[in-house]
Homo-oligomer: A and B are copies of this chain.
Amino acid sequence: MKRDSRLSSVLHALLHMAEHDGPMTSETLAECMNTNPVVVRRTMGLLREAGIVASARGHAGGWTITADLGTVTLRQLHEVLGEPAIFAIGNRNETPDCLVEQSVNAALDAAFTEAEALLLDRFADVTLADLAADFARRHAERRARKGVGNAK
């Protein structure tokens, strides 16, 4: 399969929303993420169910962040997206009769479980506010490099 980049996508979208006053439409978000408005709605719909964003229809409608940026972690977003499979490699058969394969699975599973726990812990450490702060830092750096006034 393709790699699942929805977590990356929603983070991108959320940060743009955080930097933007007022609601952003699916179309605007889709443009800035180089994708399709329907994909945006599908994904953002999950965040809405979790109370992280709100949507409004009609004129001046669109998507708005409702949660506090400091309380939303990458881990929570991963969960909201349905906890998609993290690993692209895995066991051929999850419940084998073959004892040999059971040994193999046990060894691989142990390693995968540890790595997954570490990844989720790291995800739990990072909030949207952290990312926004990192973005602000990068933005200031770029302005400094280019000279104030040419900042874009």
Within 8 A of B (CB), among A82-118: 84-93, 98-108, 110-112, 114-116, 118
Given the interface pairs A8-B105, A112-B119, the reply to whether A135 lies near B100 with Cβ below 8 Å is: yes
Label chain A's interface by main secondary structure.
helix
Assess whether A4 is interfacial by the CB under 8 Å rule.
yes
Assess whether A50 is interfacial by the CB under 8 Å rule.
no
Given the interface pairs A3-B88, A33-B92, the reply to whether A114 lies near B103 with Cβ below 8 Å is: no
Question: Chain B's nearest CB lies how many Å from the CB of A96?
Answer: 8
A binding-site residues for B, Cβ under 8 Å: 1-9, 11-12, 15-16, 19, 32-34, 74, 84-93, 98-108, 110-112, 114-116, 118-119, 122-123, 126, 130-131, 134-135, 138-139, 142
